[in-house]
Amino acid sequence: MHPLELTSESLQRALDLATRFVREEIDSLDSQPSADVLGAEELALGFVEPPPASPRPLEAILDRLRPAIRKSFNTAGPGYLAFIPGGGIMSAAIADFIAVSANRYVGVRPPAPALAQIEATAIGWLASIMGYPKTAGGILTSGGSLSTLSAIVAAREAKLPDDFSRGTIYVSAETHYCVPKAARIAGFRDWQVRRVAVDPRRRVDPMALAQAIERDHLKGLKPFMIVANVGTTNTGAIDPIPRLVSIGRSHSMWVHADAAYGGFFRLAGAGPDLMPEIEECDSITLDPHKGMFLPYGTGCLLVRDPESLKRAHSMDAEYLHDVRAQEQPNFSDLSPELSRDFRGLRIWLPLVLHGLGAFKDAIEEKLMLTRWAYDQLRADSRFELIDEPQLSVVAFRLKGAGPASDALNEELQRRVNARGRVFLSSTRLDGRYVIRLCVLSFRTHMDRVRDAVEAIRAEADEVLSTGSA
Ligand SMILES: Cc1ncc(COP(=O)(O)O)c(C=O)c1O
């Protein structure tokens, strides 16, 4: 047999090895440090090498991979409370294994209609979670950044198809940087992205937004797009969507919701009230690799009107005439991609296997854990809590002002992380160092959040008693 084709026995043996390897990794996640990058760059250097001319045994390859996996931020583990966690549920890995092994083509529909439909169905389920009508559509992307790029291009084609040189996009001061980045990639100059002030809870100020739009109209600019934050990365703030939708409608603008982080909280009982009228937005960025706990590389863009994506992305080529669907959408007509993985399976299979209820329960648990951590830290007079959590971020700092206080907070974060049980990240808000605790991994439960609060309190004792970094 050709060496690139594994025999049935060698495939089984390789799978057994890989399964054992993965199980050892997953089973030990709880006891692995929440981050361990000491010496990681030296280890990385060991992977700078020419391609091997001859085969190597899988056992040896896995032995090399293990330290490469371990020397990292443990983004799959329960202690990962930094940035925006996700987790990576194993049923998605099983889906990926099947999808990659089957290796069918879903970029256009006719080569594998049922598989393309599985993906379309999964997108439809996500649309219904967000309250979109059945006529809505969308695409799966590698993540929020690429979803945002397609949203901006769709908005540009819908509102300013001929000349966008004076078009302006409105974001808040808290909007994720992927929005201005996508705007730049889509051909806008940086000045065309207008940053609007936020209120004390870091939600965009709708009055300031309306005024900015009016002013720009008077200057002869062409305001065409508003981006609503549905869960900012800093603090989880949610913009007043109904006001933004109404401002957008009165100016015939495209309203996009960046719900990359916040979107799946709509599954919670309180979810629809957290983000009223999100279903009125023209498009929604959702990151299943965040709130649906799927592996990195799973993003989604939903649109109320799928034709808008088609106008922005569809193109014809003679060599594709054999395989272009006429009635049903081809994903390649709705997105920048043609050949790509069958990523729909990693959403569809976990939803079918676990049922939506399991995801709802997990999201409810994250809200409960966040509230608990917030209440604990708020009860400790040494801490200043930046805001009541709107989603699952607790942003806090040791009280105090000035660079010395920033240094104490930085030291507190460093010491908590050095314990290895939880991993926190930081940001700057109003020029001050702020520590963030974000609960989103499906593996994070009460025991770990309790560890986090204990570690924060105990290290605060240390930091405050030594009095300086
Ligand atoms: C609010 C928000 N929007 C967009 C993004 C970008 O998403 P991605 O990293 O999947 O490209 C992120 C990433 O954390 C985010 O938190």
Ligand 1 atom showing the smallest separation from residue 229 Cα: 1
Give the whole-angstrom CA distance, residue 367 versus residue 343: 28
Ligand 1 atom showing the smallest separation from residue 233 Cα: 16
pLDDT, position 60? 98
CA of 32 to the centre of ligand 1 (A): 26
Contact 96, 345 (CB under 8 A): yes
pLDDT, position 325? 73
Quick one: average pLDDT of 238-259? 98
* pLDDT 10s digits, 155-204: 999 999 999 999 999 999 999 999 999 999 999 999 999 999 999 999 99
Asked if residue 469 has pLDDT above 50, the reply is no
CA angle 233, 238, 241 (to 5 degrees): 135
CA of 325 to the centre of ligand 1 (A): 32
* pLDDT 10s digits, 141-155: 999 999 999 999 999
**Helix (H) or strand (E) run with residue 65 in it:** helix 58-70
Contact 428, 409 (CB under 8 A): no
CA of 138 to the centre of ligand 1 (A): 18
Give the whole-angstrom CA distance, residue 423 versus residue 84: 12
Task: Grade residue 1 by pLDDT with cuts at 50, 70 and 90.
Answer: confident
Task: Grade residue 467 by pLDDT with cuts at 50, 70 and 90.
Answer: low
First to last CA, the chain: 64
Q: Which of 75, 178, 290 has most ligand 1 atoms within 8 Å of its beta carbon, as the pocket-test mutant?
A: 178
Token readout for 123 is 């997108």
Rg (CA), the chain: 24
CA nearest ligand 1 atom 7, residue: 144
Q: Which of 202, 261, 294 has most ligand 1 atoms within 8 Å of its beta carbon, as the pocket-test mutant?
A: 261
For residue 124, the tally of other CB atoms under 10 A from its CB is: 17
Give the whole-angstrom CA distance, residue 307 versus residue 311: 6
Give the whole-angstrom CA distance, residue 376 versus residue 399: 16
Query: Closest Cα to residue 183, out of 142, 224, 139?
Result: 224
Task: Grade residue 459 by pLDDT with cuts at 50, 70 and 90.
Answer: very high
- Which residues, including other chains, have CB under 8 Å from residue 245's CB and lie 6 or more apart? 228, 255, 277, 280, 281
pLDDT, position 329? 85
Q: In the chain, what percentage of residues exceed pLDDT 70?
A: 99
Give the whole-angstrom CA distance, residue 116 versus residue 104: 10
Quick one: average pLDDT of 253-263? 99
Quick one: average pLDDT of 454-466? 96
CA angle 180, 149, 109 (to 5 degrees): 175
**Helix (H) or strand (E) run with residue 352 in it:** helix 345-354
DSSP 232-293: -TTT--B--HHHHHHHHHHTT-EEEEEETTTGGGGGSTTHHHHSTTGGGSSEEEE-HHHHT-
CA of 256 to the centre of ligand 1 (A): 14
CA angle 458, 462, 465 (to 5 degrees): 130
Asked if residue 54 has pLDDT above 70, the reply is yes
Buried/exposed code over 54-71 (b: 16+ C-beta within 10 A; e: otherwise) = eeeeeeeebeeeeeeebb
The SS3 assignment for 218 reads helix
CA of 294 to the centre of ligand 1 (A): 14
* pLDDT 10s digits, 398-408: 999 899 999 99
pLDDT, position 321? 86
CA angle 194, 284, 80 (to 5 degrees): 95
Give the whole-angstrom CA distance, residue 117 versus residue 114: 5
For residue 394, the tally of other CB atoms under 10 A from its CB is: 33
CA of 232 to the centre of ligand 1 (A): 9
* pLDDT 10s digits, 291-344: 999 999 999 999 999 999 999 999 989 988 888 777 888 999 999 999 999 999
CA of 87 to the centre of ligand 1 (A): 15
Give the whole-angstrom CA distance, residue 151 versus residue 285: 8
Q: Which residues line ligand 1 (CB under 6 A)?
A: 84, 143-145, 176, 178, 231-233, 258, 260-261, 287, 299
DSSP 121-166: HHHHHHHHHTT--TT-EEEEESSHHHHHHHHHHHHHHHH-SS--TT
Ligand 1 atom showing the smallest separation from residue 147 Cα: 11
| Strands 167-172 vs 193-196: parallel, antiparallel or unpaired | parallel
Mean pLDDT of the chain: 97
